[in-house]
């Protein structure tokens, strides 16, 4: 009896281990931006805006829209924290859907249709320029948003400069 029970347990464990191995081999892999690079990106965005005379906050979110890094200029207003985060989130959430690389273009396209205009009332979206999608090998890996430069296009310049530097460091 003991031998039959041991053999049965061994057989079940052997099958279970095989099943786990097979499923593990099928798990997808995903690229991501390491924290050090996300920190460097937000610091670059803040520095570019500061050089242009603007005190801003920059936020980097991962592909899921969760915050990875934030940098706030010493003189940036309190509202800039939320605006930068929402712009980064909007870039990640809507950029792939619209096939557009930044929130300035997303906002323009959304404004052109009634259904697109409805996006402005959904909590979490901020349809203003200043958010840029970050992609590596056509895979979304994050987004950066900037708020506080006085208008969206100025925010966008700083966010794009940070993304450009990030891409340059990946070469």
Answer yes or no: are the C-beta atoms of 134 and 33 closer than 8 Å.
Answer: yes
Q: What is the mean pLDDT of residues 61-79?
A: 98
Most confident of 2-6, 13-17, 82-86: 82-86
Residue 51 has a pLDDT of 98
Q: Give dist(CA 55, CA 69) in Å, integer.
A: 17
Residue 8 has a pLDDT of 46
Whole-model pTM: value is 0.85
Q: At what angle do helices 79-98 and 103-111 cross, to 10 degrees?
A: 70
Answer yes or no: are the C-beta atoms of 49 and 158 closer than 8 Å.
Answer: yes
CB neighbours of residue 168 within 10 Å: 8
Q: What is the mean pLDDT of residues 27-49?
A: 95
Go through the domains of the chain in sequence order and give each one's CATH number: 35-170 (3.30.450.150)
Q: Give dist(CA 3, CA 114) in Å, integer.
A: 72
Answer yes or no: are the C-beta atoms of 158 and 48 closer than 8 Å.
Answer: yes
Confidence of residue 95 (pLDDT cuts 50, 70, 90): very high
What lies within 8 Å, CB to CB, of 23 at 6+ separation is none
């Amino acid at each position: 009896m003991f031998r039959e029970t041991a053999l049965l347990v061994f057989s079940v464990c052997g099958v279970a281990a095989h099943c786990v191995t097979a499923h593990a081999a099928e798990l997808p892999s995903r690229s991501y931006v390491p924290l050090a690079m996300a920190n460097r990106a937000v610091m670059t965005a803040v520095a570019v805006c500061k050089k242009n005379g603007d005190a801003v906050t920059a936020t980097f979110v991962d592909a899921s829209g969760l915050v990875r890094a934030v940098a706030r200029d010493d003189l940036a207003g309190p509202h800039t924290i939320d605006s930068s985060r929402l712009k980064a989130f909007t870039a990640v959430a809507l950029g792939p859907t619209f096939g557009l690389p930044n929130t300035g273009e997303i906002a323009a396209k959304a404004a052109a249709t009634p259904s697109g205009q409805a996006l402005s009332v959904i909590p979490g979206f901020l349809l203003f320029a200043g958010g840029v999608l970050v992609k590596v090998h056509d895979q979304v890996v994050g987004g950066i948003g900037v708020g506080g430069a006085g208008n969206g296009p100025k925010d966008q310049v700083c966010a794009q400069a940070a993304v450009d530097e990030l891409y340059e460091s990946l070469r």
